[in-house]
Structure formats: structure tokens, C-alpha cells
Structure 1
Amino acid sequence: MRSLLYLCTALGVIALAAWAYRENHLTQQAMNQQRALEREIAALSEAFSIQRAEWAYLNRPDRLRELVDLNFERLKLVPITAAHFGEIGQVAYPMPEARSEVFDTIELSGEIEQLSATLEESLP
């Protein structure tokens, strides 16, 4: 009986050791994936910062002004002034559509009164 107890205890310890090893291996794998993702995020963040700096460099007002002057014949770009905007009276608003629902309602109410009058007459 004791030997069976020792055997079950030894098998339990071996099973727990195998489970602990497996969990440790899975934990290490998850930590490696986390580190890889953090490196990728840092690289993408750095690339994004570089692209923002390049965008700011390319959109300098003096550079854009030079490009407009160079391509004036082809693009005909001019600075925006108040004359480029319209007045509020020049806006064409759509006309509201006539609603036939109002007329239908009036006709229905007349029919309902007639129906109620005929029902009252037919009741004793």
C-alpha cells in the first residue's frame, strides 16, 4: 500500500513538473513576442516622426511659393482673397416640397366622421 502511495506521489510530482515547465515555456514565448512588438512599435513611431518632419519640410511656405511661381502658367494658382468668397444671397437653397400628407389627413378625418355617424344611426 505504501509503494502505491509513493508511486502516486512520484507521478503527481512528475506531472506538476511537466506542467510547470510547459507554463514557463509559454510565458517565455509570450515575453519574446511582447519584446518583438515593442521593438516594432518603436521603429514605426520613429518612422512616423521622420515622415512628419519630412512633411513639415516639404510644406514650408517659401518652398510652396517658389513652386507656385514656377508652375504659374500651367496651374494658374493665385492667393485666396475675399473676392473668392460669395455672399449669402448667392446661395441657392432647394425649394421645400409640397406635402400631400396634410390633404390626406383632412380627407380621412371627414371619412371617419361619416363612418361614426352611420355607426351611431345603426345602433339601437
Structure 2
Amino acid sequence: MRAFYIIISGLVVMGLAFWAYNENYRTQQVLREVSSLQRQIGHQREELAVLKAEWAYLNRPERLRDLASINFDRLGLLPFMPEQFGRVDQVSFPQDNDVLGEIEGIYDVVGRVEDAE
């Protein structure tokens, strides 16, 4: 009987060793993937920083002003003037009754819904 317990104990130890071995390699693989993803994130952040710097460089007001003056005859762009801005009370919003009246006049309800059995 004692030999049986020793054999079973040995098989359990070998099974646990095999499981630990597999878990160790899975963990190392996941750590390599995480490291690779972190490197990719770092590269993407560097690219984003470069793109933001390029956008800031291209969006400089003096550069845009020069481009607008160079292409004035084709684009006709002018700087904003204070007279171009208005107040909210100067905007003519459509009346709700007018819109609803137009919709109701177009669509008439005809017939009735029957219970489907």
C-alpha cells in the first residue's frame, strides 16, 4: 500500500511540474507580447508628438496669413472683421408651428391598424 502512495505522489509531483513548466512558458510569452505592445505604444506616441509639432508648424498664423495673401485672387479670403459677428437674437429661427404644419399637410393618416392573428 505504501508503494502505491509513493507512485501516486510521484505522478502528482510530475503532473504539477509539467503544469508549472507550461505556465512558466505561457507567462514568458505574454510578457514578451506586453513588452512588444509597450514598444509599439511608445513609437506611436513619438509619431503623434511629431505630427502635433508638424500641425503646429503648418498652422502658424503668419504662415496662413501669407498663404491667404498669395492665393487671394483664387480664394478671396479676408480676415474677420468685428462687423461680421452677430448676436443670437439677430438669427431668424424657423417657427415650430410652420414646420409642423408643413409636415402634417404632407402626410395624412389613412386606414387603421388591424390586429394580426
TM-score (norm 2): 0.77
Question: What is residue 111 of structure 2 aligned with on the other side?
Answer: none
Question: What is residue 9 of structure 2 aligned with on the other side?
Answer: 9
Question: Over aligned residue pairs, what C-alpha RMSD do you find?
Answer: 1.9
Q: 1:93 Cα shift?
A: 2.4
Residue 78 of structure 1 aligns to a residue whose secondary structure is coil
Q: 1:89 Cα shift?
A: 5.3
Establish whether residue 97 from structure 1 lines up as the match of residue 97 from structure 2.
yes
Q: 1:91 Cα shift?
A: 1.9
Equivalent-residue separation in structure 2 for 1:55 and 1:20 (angstroms): 52
> Where does structure 1 lack aligned partners over 5 or more consecutive residues?
100-124
Equivalent-residue separation in structure 1 for 2:61 and 2:27 (angstroms): 53
Q: 1:88 Cα shift?
A: 4.8
The aligned amino acid for 2:57 is Y
Q: Could you say which structure has the higher helix fraction?
A: 1
Aligned residues: 99
Q: 1:46 Cα shift?
A: 0.3
Question: What is residue 22 of structure 1 aligned with on the other side?
Answer: 22
Return the index of the structure with the highest Cα Rg: 1
Counterparts in 2 of 1:89 and 1:12: CA distance versus 1, 3 Å: closer
Query: Percent identity between the aligned chains?
Result: 42
The aligned amino acid for 1:4 is F
Equivalent-residue separation in structure 2 for 1:66 and 1:94 (angstroms): 40
Equivalent-residue separation in structure 1 for 2:16 and 2:28 (angstroms): 18
Question: What is residue 37 of structure 1 aligned with on the other side?
Answer: 37
Structure 1 segments of 4 or more deviating over 3 A?
86-90
